[in-house]
Amino acid sequence: MVNSLFPLTVRDAVSKRGGVPLIGPIQLDLKGAGITVVMGPNGSGKTTLLRLLHGAARLNHGSIRWACDQEQARDAQTFVFQRPIMLRRSILDNLIYPLRTRGVSKAKAQEQAEHWAERLGLGGFLSRQAPSLSGGEQQKLALARALITDPELVFLDEPCASLDARTMKAIERILIDTRANGTQIIMSTHDMGQARRLADEVVFLLNGKVHEHTPAHDFFASPQTPEANAFLNGDIVE
């Protein structure tokens, strides 16, 4: 897939809420490495950074530039929230929804939705109401719903927080397939193991700023800063 979004250039980006800066100023250059994992201690601003890049948090200062224009960029990316948001509809209708809002025909949307449900192991109960699914099933459904439109970039905010190992494995499998398809992924995670398994590059956040941005291999082998080193060792970083 030809990716029109990258390089992404972030300069002096600041996001505030109620006048208090949540993160920033951020300087970041992403070239589309495959899976970019955002790491950092609690409260370092991982979620806010993802939202800010996605355009779901307010940019109070600075700039975020995609390779294409803003509207095109918004259309080419999707977001999976830490707590999945289910439409009060069936599994099938949740999957169809993003396709239909983009003008895909009913028949074609249905076909794709069935295909994705099958892939997630949800094919047997397409007509079940999504809000009645378990947390893991909801997260898988949210992921499928984010991927079904074949976006160029997917944001995932802690996609596997509090999920069992099996579901986590299924989700990682899908993420690896997705990367192989040429879709870029920017995700945050708490899970060091998951980061090691998936990351192509790491953005390490500390106190709302990018503290380190290196290829994954380098980050895990020899972090450049003492804070990142401490974080990797499981020490408390402030």
Partner 1 sequence: MGDFWSGLGQAAWLVLTFDSDLLAIAARSLQVSLTALLIASLLAMPLAAFLAVRRFRWRRNVIALMNALMGLPPVVVGLIVYILLSRSGPFGILGLLFTPSAMIIAQVIIIVPLIASIAHQSLRDLWQEYHDLLISMNVTQGQKIRTLLWDARRALLTAALAGFGRAIGEVGAIMIVGGNIDHATRVLTTAIALETGKGDFALALALGFVLIAITITVNFAVHWISRTESEGRW
Q: Please report, as ranges, the residues that interact with partner 1 according to CB under 8 A.
A: 54, 56, 74-75, 78-79, 81, 85, 87-90, 97-98, 101, 127-129, 132
Q: How far is the CB of 139 from partner 1 (least distance, A)?
A: 13
Q: How far is the CB of 8 from partner 1 (least distance, A)?
A: 17
> Which is closer to partner 1, CB of 63 or CB of 72?
72
**What's the sign of the alpha-carbon dihedral 81, 39, 32, 118?**
negative
Q: How far is the CB of 228 from partner 1 (least distance, A)?
A: 30
For residue 183, the tally of other CB atoms under 10 A from its CB is 23
> Which is closer to partner 1, CB of 85 or CB of 192?
85
Check if the beta carbon of residue 53 is closer than 8 Å to that of residue 76: no
Nearest CA among 21, 26, 16, 22 for reference residue 212: 26
Check if the beta carbon of residue 204 is closer than 8 Å to that of residue 219: yes
Q: How far is the CB of 236 from partner 1 (least distance, A)?
A: 31
Cα separations in angstroms, 79 against 20, 145, 152, 164? 25, 10, 12, 21
Q: How far is the CB of 108 from partner 1 (least distance, A)?
A: 18
Cα separations in angstroms, 199 against 7, 35, 127, 205? 18, 5, 35, 15
> Which is closer to partner 1, CB of 42 or CB of 127?
127
> Which is closer to partner 1, CB of 148 or CB of 210?
148
SS3 assignment, position 58: coil
> Which is closer to partner 1, CB of 101 or CB of 134?
101
> Which is closer to partner 1, CB of 102 or CB of 173?
102
Q: Can you tell me the distance from the alpha carbon of 12 to that of 149, in angstroms, rounded to the nearest whole number?
A: 32
Q: Can you tell me the distance from the alpha carbon of 153 to that of 147, in angstroms, rounded to the nearest whole number?
A: 9
Q: How far is the CB of 145 from partner 1 (least distance, A)?
A: 9
The torsion angles phi and psi of 199, rounded to 5 degrees, stand at -65, 135
Q: How far is the CB of 68 from partner 1 (least distance, A)?
A: 14
Check if the beta carbon of residue 204 is closer than 8 Å to that of residue 36: no
> Which is closer to partner 1, CB of 55 or CB of 123?
55
